[in-house]
Structure 1
């Protein structure tokens, strides 16, 4: 698997170097190459937590929200080439396996909500799925048998995120105060990730940049004059823009989640 992957990458990089057409367009990095096309790619799949459990949103900041719709336990932790130091939080992938008689061969869709460190980086791409998501790859009646394997070769491809009627949500960090505002941003459709986030106080379109400190957590240093309700301007990695007007009320409560009326 590793040999074939290196061969494909070598050919791709060579084309990028010798062709001005591709040199102007491609970003010759592993994650971007596979995001932009090429169909399904080999990876290793494992699972963690309870057999029918939801996994975790820990490294992205979403904690137990992964149990609830629209994530609905269909999540995975990714190794370094998937998690991307937190920039991969919220990205969506189709994953399937074909090992008989366990796997159905039908793709499931998962969201990256956590990191799989350490030995997960022994292979180029490793998805550590929730128990529920791992079992969802199985043929009827084979979920437990598939999980009993512990690991299985899988195929994956990047896909747009689609959460139905769920709009972008802002979960206010418990440490937020009049001088420091922090929020975990959830359920971004389309590309799934965010290139930048800006915040504006009540009655103004003067947006102030926020900083992504880890995972899906964005923060801004403010002062007591910076009053809500707060609006947000979000830009995706492909430069799509969504503006959430008055998404967080003036009397917000740290720890609570507030839904906007927009999505990508």
Structure 2
């Protein structure tokens, strides 16, 4: 006998709840820090972001090891971290950070003998300010942590920084809420249909088409399958180097 519609719906809800629980489960990693307490080093690096302070990320950021960075697709994702299993150094509480950079492996050391960002290790290289929020002192150096993905909560809309040249449009997308990590983008000129953009690197997306003189709309899709559409974000007289604000998740 087939399952009733109500039973099928219950099973679907159970599977969805199970996936959400799995995504929010704690996993193990390690954490170090970069820079100093002043936060002088605030560039986005391998994600393509610029000045993290001006772009709204502040110092609540981390560079991810190869195992977490996913060749840049994780850029913009948010994680909750807590220091664990080290009573000497761990402080209570958690922090939430945005992935904004890559912690490269140390190719001079095999992964089982140093090189904290070497595969297959999961590692967060935090700003010093964030590191000292989960440890008693920065002299801890390296601490074990637990982490989990959490939704990104951002102020204002998604930002689109337009770069490139008349025949090549490159758009940096940042300040993305929700899942935070963009895995698909489309652009539409006032005289075109929707055009799929290719990821160049980090969160820079490109097309080889001249859209100068057209107003621009964008569709942004995140890793959880959600999409937000921002119509006529850039007016027809937009210029390279300008930043425009769209809707938010």
TM-score normalised per structure 1? 0.76
Among candidates 226, 229, 233, match of residue 219 of structure 2: 233
1: CA distance, partners of 2:119 / 2:194: 42
Residue 122 to residue 211, structure 1, CA distance change in 2 (3 Å): closer
Task: Go from structure 1 to structure 2 and tell me whether the alpha carbon gap of 1:34 and 1:76 turns closer, same or farther (over 3 Å shift).
Answer: farther
1:216–1:36 CA distance, 2 compared to 1 (3 A): farther
- How far the C-alpha of 1:100 sits from its partner, in A, is 3.5
1:103-252 pair list within 5 angstroms:
103-118=90-105, 119=115, 120-121=117-118, 124-138=121-135, 142=136, 145=137, 147-163=138-154, 165-173=155-163, 176-202=164-190, 206-223=193-210, 227-252=213-238
> Are 2:248 and 1:263 equivalent residues in the alignment?
yes
Distance 1:115 1:161, change over 3 A: same
Say which structure, 1 or 2, has more relative contact order (CA 8 Å, 6+ apart): 2
CA distance in 2, matches of 1:257, 1:200: 17
Q: Which residue of 1 aligns with 2:111?
A: none
Seen in structure 2, the aligned counterparts of structure 1 residues 132 and 109 have a Cα distance that, compared at 3 Å, is: same
How far has the Cα of 1:242 moved from its partner?
0.6
Which residue of the partner structure matches residue 6 of structure 1?
Answer: none
Q: Which runs of 5+ in 1 are unaligned?
A: 1-20, 27-32
TM-score (norm 2): 0.80
Deviations 1:169-192 (A, max 9, x none): 01122xx11111111100111111
- Contact 1:35 1:157 survives alignment (8 Å): no
Compare the two structures and name the one with the higher strand fraction. Answer: 2
- Structure 2 counterpart of 1:96: 82
Give the whole-Å Cα distance in 2 for the aligned partners of 1:241 and 1:221: 23
Equivalenced residues, count = 222
Contact 2:67 2:120 in 1 (8 A): no
Q: Which has the higher helix share?
A: 1
Larger CA deviation: 231-240 vs 209-218: 231-240
Structure 2 CA distance for partners of 1:69 and 1:59, relative to 1, 3 Å: closer
Aligned to 1:15: none
RMSD after superposition: 2.4
Deviation by residue 1:100-153 (Cα, 9 ceiling, x = unmatched): 354332111101010011121255200011112212224xxx4xx2x1221111
